[in-house]
Amino acid sequence: ILKLVYKAHKSKVDIRVFGCSAEELDGLEEAKGFEFVNLGVLQRREVAMLFKGADVFLDASHFQAFGCAGLEAMACGCAAVVPRNGGSKAYVTDGRNGFLIDSQDCAGAVHVLESLILDREYLATVKAEAAKVGKLFSVPKSVYGILQLMAGL
């Protein structure tokens, strides 16, 4: 997905990835043939700083249990592009405050990213809505929700 976006929009994108070492990426064919910056394994504060300086967060996992990274990105003002499979539907309204993608559909994911690259006004609107929704969630609220769920068992 990132390689396709880079090849089509080189001058308009700055791709940064995190979560694994350079050695781990060196073994992946998908990581070859385009420019990006690998920030490696980040601490929580570093992830938040990255999100605060970014426009879009892409998580192309096949399944996301709750999708905390996407929600954290939204709270920092990023447009989150996250898997449709999993818990991200609890906070993403597709096309309004983020995007739910089929991670197996490369062309569909690229289309979503291109819509944000090519329409900066739409990107700004999505980012603003994402930040509003992200602020509705917190650790205390999440714990309270889990306690309510468990009490009902």
Between the alpha carbon of residue 62 and those of residues 84, 95, 100, 111, the distances in Å are: 9, 19, 12, 18
Answer for the pair 70, 83: CB distance below 8 angstroms, yes or no.
no
pLDDT at 37: 97
pLDDT per position as a tens digit, 112-125: 999 999 999 999 99
Three-state SS for 8? helix
pLDDT at 32: 92
* Residue-wise burial string across 120-149, b where 16 or more C-beta atoms lie within 10 A, e elsewhere: eeebeebbebbbebbeebeeeeeeeeeeee
pLDDT at position 140 is 74
- Give the per-residue pLDDT at 135: 87
* Spans of the chain, pLDDT less than 70: 65-67, 139, 142, 145, 153
